[in-house]
Amino acid sequence: MAVNHPAFASGNVAVITGGASGIGYAAAQRFAGMGLKVCIADLPGDRLHRAAAEISPDAMAVACDVSMPEDLHRLEAAARDRFGRVDLLMNNAGIQPGTRLFDPDNWKRTLDVNLWGVIHGSQVFAPGMIAQRTPGLIINTGSKQGITTPPGDPGYNVSKAGVKVFTEALQHQLRNTANCRITAHLLIPGFVFTPLAAQGRTEKPPGAWTADQTVDFMLPRIAAGDFYILCPDNDVPRELDEKRIAWAAGDIIENRPPLSRWHPDWTEKFTASLARELPKQR
């Protein structure tokens, strides 16, 4: 696969949080295979060091809790001490322990990891990356749940909606910063079979993509200059995602009830709109 973004040049340095499993691990493997020097960060434990050894003999592993800014400062210093530079930052660490609206359990931890981890990671790494005056990337892992916000896990939705908004602001800032050659990108995975999404399953559901497929999709979209990297999966093509996203925005434009896709007065209308506009889907 041809990937022509200059940040992927052999010898450049990639730092990936949440790099010991799932999409982060798949990305780290792919970056190492392209000749990049790789630093993966994850919670301390044997899994982190095993993952680094599997990725590359030269891969660096740093124990890091992204909810703690001091850990991210330590990560940035360690990567620069080892490699002298950082060309690619992938803020990928995330959790989904489940949240309920009126139950405070898990809310703070979910927001601290999924949202503040991305914010602090970008704030810690971006100034040094900009100062290099070389092409670079900041890739933040969001979620479709942060865009269409389906019922069921409001804390996770809030965290990923925040990642979207923050990454949009980050890219705006970067493109308006003099001599900056860093760009930000929002990775929006589909249904991906990872430890985060497994929910006790040991076999990949037919509708899910693998983490490797997600990274394979991401790389050429970055090379093409996409900011919103909207990934399909085996069940949901891009066309259906577009209709769902447009319907969600239509709740505001048409003054419908919030989350009208799941409102009893609107679910049939939503389904009918898909049948008209996507006759080959579903």
**Residues with catalytic roles:** 156
Tokens of 59: 């891969």
List C-alpha distances in Å: 88 to 55, 107, 115.
Answer: 17, 29, 19
DSSP notation for 65-103: -TTSHHHHHHHHHHHHHHHS---EEEE--------BTTB
For residue 273, the Cα-to-chain-centroid distance in whole angstroms is 30
Contacts of 166 (CB under 8 A, 6+ apart): 115, 118, 119, 122, 140
CA–CA distance, 87 with 10 (Å, rounded to integer): 11
Which sign does the torsion angle of CA 194, 56, 91, 232 carry? negative
For residue 252, the Cα-to-chain-centroid distance in whole angstroms is 26
